[in-house]
């Protein structure tokens, strides 16, 4: 790896992230073409740089797709290190808890932790009790890692996730 080379975490729908070396001077388009991620695939690919936590500040997600003709340096990838490739401009996220249902659209670059914190606040859970609850994908026993991005949890062509907010089971010892 050269002194200027970047390590970029590439996140794709339904897959674990991969680390790809990149030069700061290459465009996002050329970087993606090396990975054989095409914008003319059956599902147009949108690319988001960095992570999105706008939901925690009370505002709407304003995470816009990146300009593919700008360089990696222009996108500050030396600071962000993550790109998210998704066919969804946003992911409709539904969360069920105690007979209540919350719904919100998140950027594919939002983490499970952001969605979890947002749901705890909007369900008005007591702060002490809220930390005991985690998101579990509805109809499964799958509890994604808090650092996992929502875009990784969907399959190509799908733009909706449904979760249950459940009490985290801790091992008794």
Summarize pLDDT for 113-126 with one digit per residue, the tens.
999 999 999 999 99
pLDDT at 36 over 80: no
CA distance 118 to 133: 12
pLDDT at 40 over 50: no
- What average pLDDT score do residues 79-103 get? 92
Cα torsion angle, 125, 127, 131, 135, sign = positive
Kindly report, as residue ranges, where domains of CATH 3.10.20.90 are found in the chain.
Answer: 6-86, 91-167
CA distance 102 to 104: 7
Cα 13 to Cα 7, 54, 55, 146, 155: the distances in Å are 20, 21, 21, 17, 5
- What average pLDDT score do residues 81-103 get? 93
pLDDT class of 42 with cuts at 50, 70, 90: very low
pLDDT of the residue at 170: 64
> Which CATH fold topology does 6-86 show?
Ubiquitin-like (UB roll) (3.10.20)
CATH architecture group of domain 91-167 = Roll (3.10)
């Amino acid at each position: 790896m050269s002194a200027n080379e970047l390590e970029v975490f590439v996140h794709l729908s339904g897959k674990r992230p991969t680390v790809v070396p990149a030069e700061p001077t290459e465009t996002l388009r050329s970087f993606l073409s090396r990975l054989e991620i095409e914008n003319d695939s059956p599902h147009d690919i949108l690319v988001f740089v960095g992570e999105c936590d706008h939901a925690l500040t009370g505002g709407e997600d304003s995470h816009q797709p990146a300009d593919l003709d700008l360089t990696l340096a222009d996108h500050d990838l030396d600071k962000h290190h993550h790109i998210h490739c998704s066919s969804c401009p946003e992911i409709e996220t539904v969360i069920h808890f105690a007979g209540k249902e919350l719904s919100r659209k998140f950027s594919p670059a939002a983490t499970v932790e952001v969605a979890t914190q947002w749901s705890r606040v909007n369900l008005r859970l007591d702060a002490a009790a809220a930390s005991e609850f985690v998101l579990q994908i509805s109809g499964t026993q799958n509890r994604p890692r808090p650092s996992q991005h929502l875009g990784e949890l969907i399959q190509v062509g799908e733009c909706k996730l449904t979760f249950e907010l459940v009490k985290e089971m801790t091992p008794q010892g």
